[in-house]
Chains A and B, each alone.
Chain A
Amino acid sequence: MIKAYINGTGCISPQNSIDSDWFFESINPAKGDYFDAIEPSYKEFIAPNLLRRMGRAIKMGVAAGNIAIQQADAKKVDAIITGTGLGCFEDSERFLLAILNNDEQFLTPTSFIQSTHNTVGSQIALIMKCHDYNFTYVHRGFSFESTLQDAMMLFEEGKETVLVGGVEEHTPNFVLLNRRAKKFQEASSTPIWKSTSEGIQMSEGTAFFVLNKTKTEKSLASVDGIQTVYNPKTSADILNKLHAFLKLHNLTLVDIDVTLMGFSDDVNFDEKLKEVLPSIEKESVAACYKHICGEYHTATAFAMWTAVKLIEKQKLPRVLAISDKTPSKIKHVLIINQYLGINYSFTLLSQC
């Protein structure tokens, strides 16, 4: 079975993930009911003439892509695949407000041009002069997952190096409206997997990965499998599909050293994951991530970046752990993400 070797990563998140030495020390808490990404100084990654016009999602995505490519020392990529649930929301909102505030007059095209969902991937292609395959997936909690599924198929079709990433930005207005719609709640001292109330901490961020068909000395870990599950009716459905997924890779839950679970702090969305948790804890070591990265469509990209770090350092930081159990080694990491309790996914990573 085809594996995707991760040769480079770049991650911008509410934490200090941009610093390659950072390993989950000094965690930034949520700003009440949401997180902001900590953005780097972009000048070292993006030319000033381009930077001026770019919205935040584009800047974050291009910078993270750039970091991943540098780390992998990739001279070229054969495909660029981006996942984003909301795309360039800041530019969309700017153009929409200009239309509404000026009764469709005195408009300039820049924010309309940049609002197109595939702008991040297109800008990376423009900068790299990459004439190859360029897709953008925009499906909620499957946006990043779809990039991985596509990359695995491209490897079977003969491509060698593929850049994949997830990127999300929010705006003050979008946070405000979602707060009014009661989608959020303030982060509390109750652990995220034990929440009894509704609401998430909305967030943003990006993680890009250079994936290689063949293992090289740069390879940090491998993606062995990825599967999405749409709208399962019960937690038993999820567990059955998970066991079948692991079996495909000749594994069972006992082989999974760490399972990163996408608890979101919303009692309804997390309901099925909560029912799955005892099975995971029995045979694997359960951990979570959305209490430090927040919730957004492409949070799995942050989880995958986390998984690579765990494999690299062979250590599960206490801040991520759900119980006192510690893994004796970290060979296989499984990510079980959920989004709105409707989009579920399994991503399997291994040491290589």
Chain B
Amino acid sequence: MSQRVYITGLGMISAIGNNVPESFLSLSQSKTGIGKINYLSTRYKDEFLAGEIKLSDEALVDLVQDNNSALNRNSYIAMLAAKEAVINSGIDTNDGLRTGVISSTTVAGMSKTELYYKEMFEKDDHLNVLDTHDCGDSTERIADYIGNVDYVTTISTACSSAANAIMLGCRMIKHGQLDRVVVGGVDALSKFTFNGFNTLMILDREWCKPFDENRKGLNLGEGAAFVVIEGENALNLRKGKPLAEVVGYANANDAYHQTASSPEGYGATLAIQQALKMSGLSTSQIDYINMHGTGTPNNDLSESFATKAVFGNQVPKFSSTKSFTGHTLAAAASIEAVISVLSLQHNMIFPNLNFTTPILETGLVPETSLVHTPLNTILSNSFGFGGNCSSLIFKKA
């Protein structure tokens, strides 16, 4: 059952680019995608910043080239990123091997439902929006867009969703149920999530400052990212080339509060420790941590304590790339998986922007400018509402 599992294709669309090459350019130029709100319809558009994809719904339709009127922003961006990953990997879903799509989302079709919800009670024009409201819709649209997909499912565990999709994909390959899986997550910006986070009072009105003593909160972002993962058997069969290996993963629960993390980061500590144990790596063998690092007072303190609990005084180099993309919720972990693979490929640590002052209690200092250094292993954390904590470990292939 212990077939090795590799990442063989990357796809991503977010505030820092419409594809992986554009994203890499923004990252290596330390250019954030977070800015003034242009596309989301909200009364707060001049008061807050967000990490929007720089394309209107109409422009996305042109890119996707699918005229299904029931589609929504969530499906468009998911289809684009998933297709990029499949093309990048070079797999042929028509070759008789078993292919799965495991996606994740929290907002699903809400970005469209919220536009027409009240109207639907009066007029019949937009009732088909109901068909695409649920989380499963975008996953099936991806599957149909790719073609010849044998297995689909969707996960929603808030902001750790895509990490869990990646983890499930790896497990299904190891258990021999699938040969390869397109895994990831998607969340388009919506009034619903924007106002949700605003009422929780965890949005920063300026650029977010992960791990800074004076951090005020997060900037919301939107995006989709998918990676193709393949078992070594399928990869060898087609003589494909791995980009990275997934060597560790774990999910644990904080069981502390519905939205807040425990002060000491107990669930996070468990997830990191279990992922490390599975990888067989010691703490000193982790070269870099791509942190969850949302920029909220609660998350960054809790994650810092968890990091110290696991790594002691030998905390590896770390940063939060949410200062580039904003917090993309269900897509965050797959966006950060793509970024981690780019880090491994190019031996680059992308900086934690906007940081000046370490958190008093922990004193941890992230990398604040682009670092060129040999990287072999990366730990990536993602934590969500409901105490859901997941950690992934990637290794240079």
Contacts and interface: CB of A to CB of B under 8 A. Distances in A.
**A and B, one complex?**
yes
Interface of A: 80, 85-87, 92, 95-97, 99-100, 103-105, 107-109, 112-119, 121-123, 125-126, 128-140, 142-143, 146, 149-150, 153, 156-157, 173, 176-178, 180-181, 183, 228, 230-231, 297, 342
A144 to B, nearest CB: 11
Contacts of B258: 113-114, 119, 122-123, 126
20 contacts: A87-B135, A95-B196, A100-B114, A112-B195, A115-B196, A116-B156, A122-B253, A122-B386, A130-B255, A132-B253, A135-B155, A135-B251, A139-B136, A140-B140, A153-B175, A177-B121, A181-B124, A230-B140, A230-B143, A297-B134
A114 B298 CA distance: 19
A131 B270 contact: yes
Given A132-B252, A134-B253, A99 B192 contact: yes
A138 B156 contact: yes
Interface in B133-150: 133-136, 139-140, 143-144, 149-150
Nearest to B103: A139
B164, B192, B195, B267 — most chain A CB neighbours (10 Å): B195
Given A116-B386, A126-B387, A228 B192 contact: no
Number of chain B interface residues as a range: 35 or more
A80, A118, A125 — most chain B CB neighbours (10 Å): A118
A153 B118 contact: no
Contacts of A129: 255
A117 B1 CA distance: 31
Contacts of A133: 251-253
Nearest to B266: A131
Contacts of B308: none
At the interface, is chain B mostly helix, strand, loop or mixed?
A: mixed
Interface string B247-259: 0000111111111
Nearest to B105: A138
Contacts of A139: 135-136, 139, 152-154
Contacts of B255: 125-126, 128-131
A118 B270 contact: no
B192 to A, nearest CB: 6
A80 B253 CA distance: 10
Nearest to B257: A126
B156 A108 contact: no
Interface in B259-283: 259, 266-267, 270
Given A118-B385, A122-B388, A156-B175, A85 B136 contact: yes
A100 B115 CA distance: 9
B46 to A, nearest CB: 13
B157 A136 contact: yes
B43 interface: yes
Contact of B155 (A85, A114, A122, A137): A137
Interface string B361-394: 0000000000000000000000011111000000
A112 B200 contact: yes
Contact of B251 (A130, A134, A231): A134
B343 interface: no
B127 interface: yes
B199 A125 contact: no
Contacts of B105: 138
Given A99-B114, A113-B200, A119-B385, 17 more contacts: A95-B196, A96-B117, A99-B191, A99-B195, A104-B191, A112-B196, A113-B258, A123-B258, A132-B253, A133-B252, A134-B386, A135-B157, A135-B251, A136-B156, A140-B140, A177-B120, A228-B152
